[in-house]
Amino acid sequence: MESLDLQPARSVDTHGHGHDHHDDHDHEEGTFLTKYIFSQDHKVIAKQFLISGIFWAIIGGTLSSIFRIQLGFPGTDLSFLKPILGGWIEDGKLNPEFYLAMVTMHGTIMVFFVLTAGLSGTFSNFLIPLQIGARDMASGFLNMLSYWFFFASSVIMLWSLFIETGPASGGWVIYPPLSALPQAAPGSGTGMTMWLFAMALFIVSSLLGSINYVSTVINMRTKGMTFTRLPLTIWAFFFTAIIGILSFPVLLSAALLLMFDRSMGTSFYLSEIYINGEALPNMGGSPILFQHLFWFLGHPEVYIVLLPALGITSEVIAVNSRKPIFGYKAMIGSIMAITLLSFIVWAHHMFVTGMNPFLGSIFMFLTLIIAIPSAVKAFNYITTLWRGNLVFTPGMLFSIGLVSFFISGGLTGVALGNSAIDIQLHDTYFVVAHFHLVMGSASFFGMVAGVYHWFPKMFGRMMNEKLGYIHFWMTFIGVYCVFFPLHYTGIAGFPRRYYSFTSYDAFKSFGDLNAFVSVAAFVTFVAQFIFIFNFFYSIFRGRRAPMNPWRANTLEWTTPIHPGHGNWVGEIPHVYRWPYDYSKPGADEDFIMQTIPFAQTSSSNLEGEVDLVEETTSVKSHA
């Protein structure tokens, strides 16, 4: 930490000024096409990601609502879905192959298109330049490419939903040989090919974005913005991008080898297979190899979606508690620890795949270590609330909700990470409940909290608070009603990805509970339309936002209400302090913005900060 401290931010001066001129020019004369479609402004790109993310979330949510009908009310006449699903409804019944396809696409869409692109894409893009004091990303052009690669990927993935053989259907983990052999399932034909192409483009998009985020954070911080003065949001986005850069290429290689196996007759993952009355010639491949490669991304991916949400929560909770985040450096430390550990726990998804049990023991140890930094984060959030002066904006409510999901979902991870216990729980609804809480719902809440909190900066208007409250309480209660009961069916051994449980004695119970879960899921899904209404309505008709509606310290609130391309009119502000000077004893207000020098706050300066008064005056004179 200390060594980072010593490095002053590189001068943005010359760089920034050059941009300044050019960008203002851009802003005035850009056509509709360059301003809203092929824009290089990070704020516009962020909104593009956000709106695409919302679109995908609706699709992903719709899919889950349809398969929840099947799970909650098996045997219901589904003929009324014929207009949407067409031939996939046979005699009023959902086709089991399409059930799996929907489960697969729900997972793929939610994990990658909503919680990776929609979350990182939106908030890393939007907040990094605004909160570190930069005119734009390091490369606006690569940033634009990042969105359009994502768009192309989205088109292919969406298209695959409508082809005759259906989309990919082997689960979002697409384990071969099922995904490698078109004769094993209809979805493993064209649907799988499109899935792989879409994901390859997605990975390109993600890499372009991540490289940009990292280089922007390292090189383009404004004067005085040392690493230890960065808001925790930026720390989280920074490490998320690093995880992405290191792990997504591995998924690409896994996908590439799978493409070779599918179409070029190689045997990376295939060996000794007899299918449809035919013994295939492939020998010597290993399906386990794919699982290792997949989870080498797959597990870090959990943190790719979770860390940004935790970063957003850190900021929103501090602002609305009117308190500094508790243990700022411990928070950074735990993000670092989680980043590091996220790369060495992947095989806990594979305890019972036939992997050497000794490896299982190692990964059990490593997995449970990752619980420690996570616990530190949870405790720090709670302590931040303690003796605060809490303002319940919708963003704050969703952040508290996130902490709750993070705890309840994270705790069950302690059971799952234990390989002896995992024997029974692996691939049951216990796992479904666990990751939907800790990764799905928590990250989703972080994303929604971010939208409520930064909406005024994005659109210059406020979202409706009352609708936000209703949205929060319906969603928060709804999510618990959906996922808490699933732990019980999981403990009872109900396997996931089952079309129906009726043929088993062991899985006959819990019919009522499953119906309850389905109803809760429908209600929760419908509640999201309150948010969508609020979002689009407020863009046009929301109340006009003041410059700093939440009385926050960070730099984005020093920009004009409608910041143009280049963010600040005139010089980029200097930064003199960390972002969490809330309710400082001796200060007049309950917040001191990062741009206020210590020389102006002599009544509230702490002991160590007296020396900084000089630093600030010298910076001033230099400037």
Partner 1 sequence: MFYLIIAATVLLLIVFGLLVRAQVLIDIFTKSSESRGGLSNKINGLMFPLFFVFGLAGFIYLTVSSRKDYLPDSASIHGVITDHLFWVTMGVITVVFIATHVLLFFFPYVYQYKEGNKALFYPVNHRLEFIWTVIPAIVLSLLVFTGWKAWSDITKAAPKDAVVVELVGKQFNWLVRYPGLDKELGKHNYRKIDELNSVGIDFADKNSFDDFMAGEVHIPVNKPVLFKIRARDVLHSVFAPHFRVKMDAVPGMPTHFWFVPTITSSEMKAKLGKPDFTYEIACTEVCGSGHFGMRMRLVVDDEDEFDAWIKSQQSFLAKNPDYLKKVPDNLKKLAEQSIEDNLKSSKTTALSELQEKLITKAF
Residues 108-127 that bind partner 1 (CB under 8 A): none
- Which residue's CB is nearer to partner 1, number 145 or number 255? 255
Where do we find the tokens 């900084």? 612
Q: Are residues 179 and 168 in contact, defined by beta-carbon separation less than 8 angstroms?
A: yes
- Which residue's CB is nearer to partner 1, number 140 or number 186? 186
Site for partner 1 contains 414 (CB under 8 A): yes
Residues 148-187 that bind partner 1 (CB under 8 A): 169-171, 175-178, 181, 184-185
In the complex, minimum distance from the CB of residue 207 to partner 1, in angstroms, rounded to a whole number: 29
The identity of residue 313, as a single letter, is T
In the complex, minimum distance from the CB of residue 266 to partner 1, in angstroms, rounded to a whole number: 14
Cβ density class 381-419: b for 16+ within 10 Å, e for less: beebbeebeeeebbbbbbbbbbbbbbbbbbbbbeebbbb
Site for partner 1 contains 369 (CB under 8 A): yes
DSSP letter string, 53-92: HHHHHHHHHHHHHHHHHHHHSTT---GGGHHHHGGGEETT
In the complex, minimum distance from the CB of residue 200 to partner 1, in angstroms, rounded to a whole number: 23
From residue 204, how far is each of 143, 355, 593 by CA, in Å? 11, 31, 37
Residues 237-296 that bind partner 1 (CB under 8 A): 270-275, 279, 283-288
Window of 126-134, 338-346, 433-441, 491-499 that interacts with partner 1 by CB under 8 A: 491-499
In the complex, minimum distance from the CB of residue 354 to partner 1, in angstroms, rounded to a whole number: 4
In the complex, minimum distance from the CB of residue 605 to partner 1, in angstroms, rounded to a whole number: 12
Residues 79-98 that bind partner 1 (CB under 8 A): 83, 95-97
DSSP letter string, 223-273: TT--GGGS-HHHHHHHHHHHHHHHHHHHHHHHHHHHHHHHHS---SS--S-
State the Cα–Cα distance between residues 594 and 132, nearest whole angstrom.
Answer: 11
Size of the site for partner 1 (CB under 8 A): 128
Residues 501-540 that bind partner 1 (CB under 8 A): 501, 503-507, 509-510, 513, 533-534, 537
Site for partner 1 contains 64 (CB under 8 A): no
- Which residue's CB is nearer to partner 1, number 7 or number 361? 361
- Which residue's CB is nearer to partner 1, number 98 or number 213? 98
Q: Are residues 487 and 425 in contact, defined by beta-carbon separation less than 8 angstroms?
A: no
- Which residue's CB is nearer to partner 1, number 376 or number 515? 376
Q: How far apart are the first and last CA of the chain?
A: 27
Site for partner 1 contains 313 (CB under 8 A): no
State the Cα–Cα distance between residues 454 and 554, nearest whole angstrom.
Answer: 12
Site for partner 1 contains 564 (CB under 8 A): no
Site for partner 1 contains 132 (CB under 8 A): no
Site for partner 1 contains 428 (CB under 8 A): yes
In the complex, minimum distance from the CB of residue 269 to partner 1, in angstroms, rounded to a whole number: 9
In the complex, minimum distance from the CB of residue 485 to partner 1, in angstroms, rounded to a whole number: 7
Count of residues in the chain: 623
Look at residues 40, 77, 62, 276 and name the one whose alpha carbon lies nearest to residue 177: 276
Site for partner 1 contains 465 (CB under 8 A): yes
State the Cα–Cα distance between residues 521 and 71, nearest whole angstrom.
Answer: 11
